[in-house]
Amino acid sequence: MPREGGDHARGDESWRGEWTPDAIAHALTPGQRMEFMRQLNLTPFSELEALGARWRKLIEDLRAGAAKAPEVLDYQRQHGGALPPEYTDVTELISERRVA
């Protein structure tokens, strides 16, 4: 018997079932999953739908980015590691935030 969340939890974009907390949790990395579960347990019932929407968007955005990764990698290989012009390197911004 397949677990709740089905193939979507493994990243199959064709899965069109209902999102559940379990499906969201299984689509996340272990660290993200812990944060999601923490938020799920601390969020009032009246705000659970909005919480689920934020995490679903995160998953969808990550998957969209991952789908573009091979194309970006090919560009970088052909251009000495440079990002395509439509991308912005935010490495320094992330590093500055971690230090702050």
Q: What integer pLDDT is reported at residue 16 of this predicted model?
A: 62
Taking alpha carbons only, the member of 9, 45, 42 closest to residue 27 is 9
Q: What integer pLDDT is reported at residue 93 of this predicted model?
A: 79
Cα four-point dihedral sign 5, 9, 10, 12? positive
The pair of three-digit structure tokens given for residue 19, joined into one six-digit string: 């999102």
Q: What integer pLDDT is reported at residue 2 of this predicted model?
A: 37
Listed by start position, the domains of the chain span 6-99
**Span 54-89, pLDDT tens digits:** 999 999 999 998 999 999 999 999 999 998 988 888
Instruction: Please tell me which residue, 93 or 25, carries the higher pLDDT value.
Output: 25
